[in-house]
């Protein structure tokens, strides 16, 4: 098969969100702490009427319906999530209802888990399957998403919720290119050791330097493989840099982190080619080149220098991929693909054709990859069917107290059996799945509105 990649996309987000400006006031923190400091605008929320399986069922069912996909035409489903409600039973198995009811149980794939990275592991698995000798000629699905919630404190404004489903197969308009630069090491930056709670344990400062060092290492691994490939093919092209990318998309824990990450890529390009005229405005080149690596991760002046240098490119190109994260906040595994959906929704298909997108996936703990996608076909159908701008605008901005109440309901229902959710079904979109009940053996019953 040729040109394996993304044939179709669908996004899911809850009906409700809260304003970060209002949350600053509600939490009694300094004005600007969430909106300027973290670069946050809104954050999606849901109560005990929803869980990760309702998110994934909704986004998958809607994808199948919108694109008229025959459930029998799917041969593999890879799920990425860190919000699973069962330590053994994969969320993928809940999706099987949509396929088994059409007589299709021959569907490979289960869940991939590592914080926000599971979706990228799922995507690589699905693409590799289509490109492999065990491919049976059918398409694959990648389904990912999370409910990102934090205990009261500095992590809370970096929450969010949402999910994404993608159809994977040959001759795609969005083709995954073969080089991946990956960086994976053991770190305790963000993890979920408390099985009786949905809230993570977070080392905030470590999570930021871990993300930053991961982008350095994954980008460097990518560039090294790119150079090796170029050398093998006898290419005289200059080393890979952001000049080879039209639209960079990043995993977005919060807006400011994406700005830091984008600036960091520009810094990496600067280190590789410091005399290029585009860095003429940089005053302290010699000091920057001599700087110790660990110091560079914490150097605020360095960070500001490259964020400023990258600002106009950020505003004109990176921001296009942030529509979902600006409205919904962090969707963990869904974040990077919500970024891709935002970009597809923002660029005219005729202008998009032939362009290259870079993707940076980061999951705490930690796993990260830098890879690229080439736009090789017409993205009009995906753009139209996503209808993203209108759908994001249709979300209801609710008072912050409603957010806190929703979290309280989630806390009470977590691990409960014989549970009837308290949250109103009015807060579910038409066509959305919701939790009807949890029985005495913890079995969840789902219904579609």
325 lines the binding site for ligand ACO (CB under 6 A):
no
DSSP class of residue 1 equals: -
Spatial contact of 138 and 107, defined as CB atoms under 8 Å apart:
no
Q: CA-CA distance, 419 to 439, in Å (whole number)?
A: 7
Q: By CB under 6 A, tell whether 37 contacts ligand ACO.
A: yes
- Which H or E run contains 340? helix 335-346
Active-site residue, 82 included = yes
Question: Token pair of 95, please?
Answer: 């999706």
Q: Is the peptide bond before 44 cis (omega within 30 degrees of 0)?
A: no
306 scored as a contact of ligand ACO (CB under 6 A): no
* H runs (alpha helix) in 115-188: 118-130
Stretch that binds ligand ACO, among 27-35, 45-53, 371-379, 398-406 (CB under 6 A): 27-35
Listed residue (340, 360, 356, 331) closest to 261, CA to CA: 360
251 is catalytic: yes
> Residue 190 interacts with ligand ACO (CB under 6 A)?
yes
The single residue of 251, 262, 303, 400 carrying the catalytic annotation is 251
264 vs 383, beta carbon nearer ligand ACO: 264
- Catalytically annotated residue among 24, 82, 198, 303: 82
- Which parts of 238-297 interact with ligand ACO (CB under 6 A)? 253-254, 256-257
Q: Does 193 bind ligand ACO (CB under 6 A)?
A: no
Q: How far is the CB of 198 from ligand ACO (least distance, A)?
A: 14
Instruction: Annotate 408-445 with b (16+ C-beta within 10 A) or e (fewer).
Output: ebbeebbeeeebebebeeebbbeebbbbeebeeeeebe
Closest CB to ligand ACO among residues 6, 38: 38
Identify residues 144-173 at the interface with ligand ACO (CB under 6 A): 154-155, 158
Q: Which one of the spans 202-210, 222-230, 342-350, 423-431 is the region binding ligand ACO (CB under 6 A)?
A: 202-210
Q: Which member of 20, 60, 207, 372 binds ligand ACO (CB under 6 A)?
A: 207
Residues 145 and 55: beta-carbon distance below 8 Å: yes
Question: In whole angstroms, how close is the CB of 211 to ligand ACO at the nearest point?
Answer: 4
Which residue's structure tokens are 């029985």?
A: 439
Q: Are strands 74-80 and 111-112 parallel, antiparallel or unpaired?
A: parallel
Give the residue carrying structure tokens 């993570």: 200
Residue 60, interface with ligand ACO (CB under 6 A)? no
Binding of residue 33 to ligand ACO (CB under 6 A): yes
Would you say 337 or 434 has its CB closer to ligand ACO?
337
Q: Taking a C-beta distance cutoff of 8 angstroms, is the pair 93, 203 a contact?
A: no
Q: Which residues bind ligand ACO (CB under 6 A)?
A: 30-33, 36-38, 116, 154-155, 158, 190, 202, 204, 207-208, 211, 253-254, 256-257, 364
Catalytic residues: 82, 116, 251
């Amino acid at each position: 098969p040729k040109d394996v990649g993304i044939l179709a996309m669908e996004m899911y987000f809850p009906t409700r969100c809260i304003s970060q400006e209002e949350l600053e006031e509600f939490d009694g923190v300094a004005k600007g702490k969430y909106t300027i400091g973290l670069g946050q605008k809104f954050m999606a929320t849901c109560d005990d009427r929803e869980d990760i399986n309702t998110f994934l069922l909704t986004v998958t069912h809607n994808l199948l319906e919108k694109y008229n996909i025959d459930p029998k035409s799917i041969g593999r489903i890879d799920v990425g999530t860190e919000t699973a409600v069962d330590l053994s039973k994969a969320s993928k198995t809940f999706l099987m209802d949509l396929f088994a009811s059409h007589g299709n149980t021959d569907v490979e794939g289960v869940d991939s888990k590592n914080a926000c990275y599971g979706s990228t592991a799922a995507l690589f698995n699905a693409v590799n399957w289509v490109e492999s000798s065990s491919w049976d000629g059918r398409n694959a699905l990648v389904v990912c998403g999370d409910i990102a919630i934090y205990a009261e404190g500095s992590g809370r404004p970096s929450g969010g919720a949402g999910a994404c489903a993608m159809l994977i197969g040959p001759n795609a308009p969005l083709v995954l290119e073969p080089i991946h630069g990956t960086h994976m090491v053991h770190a305790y930056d963000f993890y979920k050791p408390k099985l009786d709670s949905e809230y993570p344990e977070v080392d905030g400062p470590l999570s930021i330097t871990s993300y930053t060092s991961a982008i350095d290492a994954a980008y460097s691994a990518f560039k090294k493989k790119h150079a090796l490939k170029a050398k093998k093919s006898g290419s005289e092209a200059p080393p890979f840099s952001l000049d080879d990318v039209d639209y960079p998309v990043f995993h977005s824990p919060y807006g400011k982190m994406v700005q830091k990450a984008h600036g960091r890529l520009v810094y990496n390009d600067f280190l590789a080619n410091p005399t290029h005229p585009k860095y003429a405005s940089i005053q302290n080149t010699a000091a920057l080149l001599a700087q110790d690596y660990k110091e560079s991760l914490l150097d605020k002046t360095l960070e500001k220098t490259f964020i400023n240098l990258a600002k106009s490119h950020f505003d004109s190109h990176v921001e296009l991929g942030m529509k979902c994260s600006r409205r919904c906040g962090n969707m963990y595994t869904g974040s990077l693909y919500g970024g891709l959906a935002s970009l597809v929704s923002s660029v005219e298909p005729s202008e998009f054709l032939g362009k290259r997108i870079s993707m940076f996936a980061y999951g705490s703990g930690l796993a990260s990859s830098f890879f690229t996608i080439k736009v090789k076909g017409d993205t009009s159908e995906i753009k139209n069917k996503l209808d993203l701008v209108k759908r994001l605008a249709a979300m209801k901005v609710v008072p912050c107290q409603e957010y806190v109440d929703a979290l309280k309901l989630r806390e009470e229902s977590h691990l409960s059996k014989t549970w009837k959710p308290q949250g109103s079904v009015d807060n579910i979109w038409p066509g959305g799945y919701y939790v009807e009940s949890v029985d005495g053996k913890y079995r969840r019953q789902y219904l579609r509105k």
